[in-house]
Amino acid sequence: MHAEPLKNLGATYNSFYVYDETVIEAQIDRLLRCFADVTFLYSIKANPAKPIVSFLQTKGFGADAASLAEVFLAKECGVERDSIYYSAPGKTEADLLGAVDHCMLIADSLLEVERINRIASARNTVLDIGIRINPDFTFEGERGVPSKFGIDEAVILNQPELILKHTHVRITGIHVHVKSQELCAEKLKRYYENMFRLGLNITSALHTSLQYINMGSGLGIPAWGQPDLDVVTLGQEVCKLISQYRATLPNTKVIIETGRYAVGLSGYYATKVLDVKESMGKKFIILCNTLNGFMRPSMAQFLLNYTCEKNLGGCEPLFSGTDAHGFMALNDSVEQETVTLVGNLCTSADVIARDITLPKLEVGDLVVLTNAGCYAASLSPVLFASLEPPMQFYMDSNETIHTI
């Protein structure tokens, strides 16, 4: 994205996001090309902006909805009922009742299976549903770990009657999502192999035929300036696995979900310099809405500076790493300066970069952060201190700017 649209918007706004459709299109076209036999869902919680959900719908993406509101957002954006998958822990009876006619339900626990069964029984019908499974494998090792998500694989395989006793539901799909932001194609491939094996085991334990195996997400995006995930190789491996399992899982749709891969790189966050000051030899640049406008870079600084942990693991989607975002000064200054970038909140935890070297910044300049397309506006505590939240804009492929 070039600087002009950002500078133009900066004439009116002190903090704002711009999502660039051409970047989203390039990302998802790559996925569609590399994973020809896969059905993709867009994980709305990554960025629920309507033009984004609508654009992905036109590209054939279904929706991964994490709440009842996201089910309706997907519907409003034109996604068909059978392509909206509602999977989240702690769905209430009201959530399930509200959603049942508008999407595919994925039960997150045995209690949810029971709740859905009750709804179906009251309607005198049998519902096809999916179950989320906590698998007995991870990306890293051969054994699973305790999780708040899904039903343990061992419970389903060893005590299938706990599910089969609910005669008003039929389990016709499985869903697993154990990790986000993986950049190693080899690990993802091993995970997908495990998923196919799990699909077969579930098929025989529950005497069912699976309409879909939803393998969740995992597709990572690179930190600023780092190498990309090798989706070409990964796509070939997945297509190989699909044909290998075609005989034993003949009618099963293979689904991959993604939020960040589709939209993460498309977003830019622009924040204006409100004040410049020096304190005891240190230069502070005071920006508009940092922690409260785009929380993840602040979270990275927070973890770096308030824990003793040397090798910080990712804690998605709140924290991906300390170098997830690039910083750019949108000015013509040739002079460089080492500064600390802070926000306008009344807390000293509101720091987004310490001792960073940038072109010399003046009041009114814009600082632009990259990789701001996912888990950004929607994840940030915008109510804090009652400041005006950042604006959000969508730039379509004709460079027309739409307000979100």
Binding residues for ligand PLP (CB under 6 A): 43, 45-46, 64, 66, 87, 177, 180-181, 216-217, 219, 257-261, 374
Nearer to ligand PLP, 216 or 297 (CB): 216
CB of 218 to ligand PLP, least distance (A): 7
CB of 149 to ligand PLP, least distance (A): 8
The helix (run of H) or strand (run of E) holding residue 188 is helix 185-205
Please, are residues 372 and 267 in contact by the beta-carbon 8 Å criterion?
A: yes
Nearer to ligand PLP, 64 or 153 (CB): 64
Q: DSSP letter for 319, please.
A: B
CA angle at 235 for the pair 230 and 239, rounded to the nearest 5°: 160
Q: Which amino acid is at 354?
A: R
Nearer to ligand PLP, 176 or 202 (CB): 176
Q: Which amino acid is at 40?
A: F
CB of 264 to ligand PLP, least distance (A): 7
The helix (run of H) or strand (run of E) holding residue 153 is helix 153-158
Nearer to ligand PLP, 87 or 292 (CB): 87
CB of 262 to ligand PLP, least distance (A): 8
CB of 371 to ligand PLP, least distance (A): 12
CB of 188 to ligand PLP, least distance (A): 12
Please, are residues 287 and 151 in contact by the beta-carbon 8 Å criterion?
A: no
Phi-psi region of 28 (alpha: psi -120 to 50; beta: other; left: phi over 0): alpha
Integer angstrom CA distances of residue 347 from 283, 292, 352: 17, 11, 13
CB of 49 to ligand PLP, least distance (A): 14
CB of 62 to ligand PLP, least distance (A): 12
CB of 217 to ligand PLP, least distance (A): 3
Query: 237: closest CA among 226, 229, 249?
Result: 229
Phi-psi region of 98 (alpha: psi -120 to 50; beta: other; left: phi over 0): alpha
Nearer to ligand PLP, 95 or 350 (CB): 95
Please, are residues 331 and 365 in contact by the beta-carbon 8 Å criterion?
A: yes
The helix (run of H) or strand (run of E) holding residue 10 is helix 3-10
The span from the CA of 215 to the CA of 44, in Å, is 16
Nearer to ligand PLP, 255 or 361 (CB): 255
The span from the CA of 135 to the CA of 41, in Å, is 21
Task: Say whether 63 sits in a helix, a strand or coil.
Answer: strand
CB of 177 to ligand PLP, least distance (A): 4
Cβ-closest residue to ligand PLP? 259
Nearer to ligand PLP, 116 or 374 (CB): 374
CB of 181 to ligand PLP, least distance (A): 6
Q: Is the dihedral of CA 313, 370, 24, 240 positive or negative?
A: negative
- Helix count and strand count (H, E) for the chain: 12, 18
Nearer to ligand PLP, 340 or 378 (CB): 378
Task: Say whether 102 sits in a helix, a strand or coil.
Answer: coil
Integer angstrom CA distances of residue 402 from 5, 209, 398: 12, 44, 11
Nearer to ligand PLP, 14 or 180 (CB): 180
The helix (run of H) or strand (run of E) holding residue 39 is strand 39-43
CB neighbourhood size of 285 (10 A): 26
Nearer to ligand PLP, 373 or 390 (CB): 373
Nearer to ligand PLP, 156 or 374 (CB): 374
